[in-house]
Structure 1
Amino acid sequence: MLEELKNLTMNGTSATNGDASRTNGGVNGDASQTSGGTNGHASHTGYVRPNKAGTRKTGDPLTLPPGVDSEKFKDFIRQVQDIVEQTNVNVIDKAEHLNKDHYLDPSKVHDMYNVVDEDYFVSSALVAPRNVREVQAIMKLCNEFEIPVWPFSIGRNVGYGGAAPRVPGSIGLDMGRNMNKVLDVNVDGAYALVEPGVTFADLHEYLVKNNLREKLWIDVPDLGGGSVLGNTIERGVGYTPYGDHWMMHCGLEAVLPDGTLIRTGMGALPNPDANPDLPPDEQPANKAWQLFNYGFGPYNDGIFTQSSLGVVVKMGIWLMPNPGGYKSYLITFPRDEDLHQAVEIIRPLRVAMVLQNVPTIRSILMDAAVMGDRKKYSTSGKPLTDAEIDEIAAKLNLGRWNFYGALYGPEPIREAMWQVIKASFSAIPGAKFYFPEDMPENEVLQIRDLTLQGIPTYDELKWVDWLPNGAHLFFSPIAKVTGDDAVAQYELTRRRSEEFGFDFIGDFVVGMREIHHIVCIVFNRKDPKQRQNAFKLIQTLIDDAAKMGWGEYRTHLALMDQIAGTYSFNDNAQMKLNETIKNALDPKGILAPGKNGIWPKSYDKKAWTITP
């Protein structure tokens, strides 16, 4: 494998811009009359919008939906206001709408961490439904007008595009503004039923306020402000034993592109006590809906993840019963080359579930960035050298790699697990072992102590400030849990990062039988050159990874087409299946066209695709 890596191109080039295929077309195949940008200005990245950017009229948004003129758009806005009321509709008609750029107050209309032009991925209007029936009515109206709609829950999918739509000018469907209730928490069944606007922090607070935290825990990702539902259907992860969020969901209620409402799994079986006079979304569900995922017949839930086949309006999620005891820990490995041995030790322990949770192996710079910006450690304008990185590790009393995990259960169980874990990792010369009380000054260990017991925090956000005006992209390939694969991915991604002028910041998130390798490409969002380099870097990494047989599990809007193209087995058989399902359920292509590279037949795929 390492020999294969050496054969990959070392020139760091990618992103050929300005292909003719990106400039001709749109929904109706019209030739573009501009060279990009909302006002028809040349795109700084070379990528252009197939939908025309003609002369704006009073009341027009910054970007009209493709194939929709000013009068048709205004007619749509009038009618959608009749559905949700005027206060829940906001036309994006001023550049000031693109000013928000922070996780805690995220933009709902554009990509805050843009790598192509800021005005490329922009909604034409925001519409915030108040209930399921309004979602159904909006979908029917979008079909009538043939206007694309892009649903989002909160807008904090940062690093992947946030709330921005793949097709400029789409209607942003703000599912979380009004639909934000915890609908049920069942202690005996250990589950919750939530709407899109419920964040991890909200659900945790609900348990605390209702004196349920002593009985039930939630699983949380690094930051607590994201939507439980949104993160789960994007197949996000957390760090407790319930860290695979999609694995822990149970039962969906979704609105199909034509406005039809369905319940999946056991939810398809009516509750015999339901009042047939109530609207379907208000009828009590089958009592096993959140208990058994599959129901009868084909299992449909998966088609609503990372897809454009339905708007999920309710979701069941399993909660973790209080394990009866908890202890987090940190193990540090002093040398860069210790990564190989550490991963080899981790694999059998994780498969045997001696490592009970979703642990992480974090590079030293990821921890250092939480505890200070780059200027705190170096004034160098170049990527940090090994000697400089070693100095940072010594200063922080950490290793080049740092392993965060946790023990769950009564004290005898925790102690037995710990003895096995400590003995196993003691085989690595110089490995050190810590509990939170041993390192009160270690901010990251204190944060992880909360995260690994399902208590949401926001402090991990600090690593984005490694550079001034910090923004980030995530490159997230999947790997086998082997030392060879981990080292190969690390060496490739670090080398490429440094070629493009960036420090390597990343971690390995260890699932049941695989690793999510999360590379955090931190750049100055106000520096056009850094934005361009970040984009070129990740495009290069995607191609490099595909040559090694590695695929990403999730990505930014601007990279969906490229990554979809790497999943090309048997003449793109999977994509052809996805397109067939898309065109059957959404013949007018109105729901999230282009999401994850799936373009409906109503779009000129070649014109809309963004690839290097």
Structure 2
Amino acid sequence: MSSSFPPPPTLATAHSGLPERLVDLGTESKTRLLSKRTLPESVPRQGELPVLPPDTTRAEFNQAIGELQQILGTEHVDINDKPLVDGWYVEHPNTHDAFHIALQDDLVSSAVVYPGTVEEVQAIVRWANKHKIPIYPISMGRNIGYGGTAPRVPGSVVLDLGRRMNRILNVDAENASCLVEPGVSYFALYEEIQRRGLPLWIDTPDVGGGSVLGNAIDRGVGYTPYGDHFANHCGLEIVLPNGELLRTGMGALPGREGADNPTWQSFQPAYGPYADGIFSQSNFGIVVCMGMWLMPEVGHQSYVITFPREEDFPDIVEIIRPLAQQRVLGNIPQLRHAIQELATTAKPKSDFYTGPGPIPRDVIQQHAATLPLGAVSWVFYGTQYGDAASIATQLDIIRKAFSAIPGAKMLFPEDLPADHYLHSRVHVCSGVPVLRELDWLNWVPNAAHLFFSPIVPTRGKDAQVVHDIVVRLHAKYGFDLIPTLCVAGREMHYIVNIVYDRSSLDEKRRAAACMREMIAEAAAEGFGEYRTHILFADMVASTYSWGDNALMRFNETIKDALDPNGILAPGRNGIWPRRFRGKGWEILGSEVEDAIAGRGIGPKSERKA
């Protein structure tokens, strides 16, 4: 594919780049996406720049930044006074959210700093306490759909941990584990294991450019038997909000002659309370180093099962549950809707439908009939592991179980063309990070997306309740429903992907309203999100209100004890320190839509009428 767009960077030139094996595919993906862009690459920013941190004058900010430049070196402190560029997946910004749901200039940093050592992270934290300037750490900032690199409090200083802290500190072949810094991507870890010729797998999300550490700390998921990333981490090193350094688990026990404890990546809890959990999805500390378990290489077989009718949905879920509980299913399988068979062709929606509103179900079926899987409604992607005989036995059990649904059909990679999405699942489910999942971003021009991610019991009736809510609200607000269910034995992540044109304020407003109503209606039925966009964090946190908000009061107690000056990522996951709490920073109800209308993100007293 010819293009005027330069190829993306490689791992040889940037920690955030692509491996050489994916450069051509990455260039094609980038070209497809950016060629549909109607937005200018950047637009002039308004007002005096940079945006200041709260309660900080420009003179105070300039003095504080001068001190920070002395600590880190001028070249490692960037003032955010330049045009904002949304970029592309491998070349995304660290100044704001590339997939901005509010206005592009709303959630912006005042500066971005690049520590290179743990000691420099500690120095930055002490600097922040001295000047009462909020800091917002990111690993690589690729939690797209959840806020990216944007700080919740405008004017915060972003700590980009990835650019200079990107070492693979250890890969232990015997222990099947590794130790990584925040800037190590799935791409980088995979390539290093391949370079060393080790019979080990990583577990990767759908797209492999994210941080191994960052994804685990945000409790992301993958698709091998090691798919629960936080459950498979082992050992953390953390800079606390006062600048002190903490090691959790067996790392708290010194090794011989000052070396690391040899069991740090072998046993998670150690002695006493298990502290690791409070540093996931929180603002209680900055994780600067993490151990991760790796999966020994094993035989595998991916497959797809198709189902012809929309109404098959609850029956599919009922069949999955016992298979998953009995460990017959080998991985974290995906149940997807047939609309994704259209979207993963990388073609725009306009190739399939140019009418108003969401693409009708009969039109989806009509176009799906021309694709390799045919006129189906639901698609189940799974992978089995082990030797050939055990895989064959597992597949027989699975085939028989799903045959209870009339018209169910099982297919294997060799049954489908080389460009079919199943071949991408083969890679992902055997630990090979890829890019294919970016293809559905071509669905609309200037595409961005927003995730609604509730946890639902693996029961057909409960799944149907949530499904009915999202179907109805997507129709109400005019969005195509693109659901992916990651299904385990007792719960499933029902992940809804709202794809919108970020050049359209109307689409942004409707996306926010749809999100808000889905959160409220699902919570009213007892279903809460496990992860959300930063602009909806207060809303989601408020739904976990049992016992007069006992959980949030507990979180606030920890926050105030560890971070009395409120400098570390205030508002992340809805946790506000005493300094900001109750002063109008929270965003609830329709206030995201108000922000899209230009009324601002800061405390209510400063928002426009």
The TM-score, its normalising length taken from structure 2, stands at 0.88
In 2: Cα distance, 1:148 partner to 1:501 partner? 38
The alpha carbon displacement at 1:101 in A equals 3.5
* Equivalent of 2:344 in 345, 370, 375: 370
2:588 alignment counterpart: 611
The alpha carbon displacement at 1:531 in A equals 0.8
Superimposed CA distance per residue, residues 3-52 of structure 1 (whole angstroms, 9 cap, x where no aligned partner): xxxxxxxxxxxxxxxxxxxxxxxxxxxxxxxxxxxxxxxxxxxxxxxxxx
The alpha carbon displacement at 1:55 in A equals 6.8
In 2: Cα distance, 1:482 partner to 1:291 partner? 35
Q: What pairs with 1:72-471 in structure 2 (closer than 5 Å)?
A: 72-94=60-82, 96=83, 98-212=84-198, 215-274=199-258, 284-323=259-298, 325-371=299-345, 372-398=347-373, 399-441=376-418, 443-471=420-448
Q: Are 1:68 and 2:43 matched, yes or no?
A: no
Find the residue that maps to 2:119 and give its secondary structure: helix
In 2: Cα distance, 1:435 partner to 1:378 partner? 30
1:21 alignment counterpart: none
Superimposed CA distance per residue, residues 284-314 of structure 1 (whole angstroms, 9 cap, x where no aligned partner): 3111000000011111101110100100000
Alignment-mate amino acid for residue 53 of structure 2:
P
The alpha carbon displacement at 1:112 in A equals 1.2
Deviates more, 1:506-515 or 1:567-576: 506-515
1:558 alignment counterpart: 535
In 1: Cα distance, 2:558 partner to 2:87 partner? 36
Find the residue that maps to 1:183 and give its secondary structure: strand
Find the residue that maps to 2:466 and give its secondary structure: helix
In 1: Cα distance, 2:404 partner to 2:47 partner? 69
Contact kept, 8 Å, 2:72 with 2:120, in 1: the verdict is: yes
The alpha carbon displacement at 1:568 in A equals 0.3
Contact kept, 8 Å, 1:148 with 1:589, in 2: the verdict is: yes
Deviates more, 1:601-610 or 1:399-408: 601-610
The alpha carbon displacement at 1:392 in A equals 2.4
In 1: Cα distance, 2:309 partner to 2:484 partner? 15
The alpha carbon displacement at 1:604 in A equals 4.0
In 1: Cα distance, 2:57 partner to 2:200 partner? 52
Find the residue that maps to 1:471 and give its secondary structure: strand
Contact kept, 8 Å, 1:336 with 1:401, in 2: the verdict is: yes
Q: Which runs of 5+ in 2 are unaligned?
A: 1-44, 590-609
Contact kept, 8 Å, 2:477 with 2:511, in 1: the verdict is: yes
Contact kept, 8 Å, 1:200 with 1:220, in 2: the verdict is: yes
Find the residue that maps to 2:235 and give its secondary structure: strand
Identity among equivalent positions (%) equals 48
In 1: Cα distance, 2:386 partner to 2:90 partner? 34
Find the residue that maps to 1:396 and give its secondary structure: coil
In 2: Cα distance, 1:166 partner to 1:550 partner? 25
2:25 alignment counterpart: none
Alignment-mate amino acid for residue 120 of structure 1:
D
The alpha carbon displacement at 1:381 in A equals 2.2
Q: Which runs of 5+ in 1 are unaligned?
A: 1-52, 275-283
Alignment-mate amino acid for residue 302 of structure 1:
G
The TM-score, its normalising length taken from structure 1, stands at 0.87
In 1: Cα distance, 2:474 partner to 2:459 partner? 22
The alpha carbon displacement at 1:606 in A equals 4.1
1:27 alignment counterpart: none
Alignment-mate amino acid for residue 464 of structure 1:
L
* Equivalent of 1:567 in 541, 544, 548: 544
Alignment-mate amino acid for residue 86 of structure 1:
T
The alpha carbon displacement at 1:443 in A equals 2.2
Contact kept, 8 Å, 1:494 with 1:503, in 2: the verdict is: no
1:8 alignment counterpart: none
Superimposed CA distance per residue, residues 259-299 of structure 1 (whole angstroms, 9 cap, x where no aligned partner): 0001100000011221xxxxxxxxx3111000000011111
In 1: Cα distance, 2:423 partner to 2:547 partner? 48
1:485 alignment counterpart: 462
Alignment-mate amino acid for residue 400 of structure 1:
S
Moved over 4 A (4+): none
In 1: Cα distance, 2:476 partner to 2:370 partner? 27
Quickly say closer, same or farther: Cα 1:361–1:199, change in 2 above 3 A: same
Find the residue that maps to 1:389 and give its secondary structure: helix
Deviates more, 1:285-294 or 1:596-605: 596-605
In 2: Cα distance, 1:247 partner to 1:605 partner? 34
2:554 alignment counterpart: 577
Superimposed CA distance per residue, residues 450-502 of structure 1 (whole angstroms, 9 cap, x where no aligned partner): 11111000111111221111110000000000111222211210110111011
Find the residue that maps to 1:427 and give its secondary structure: coil
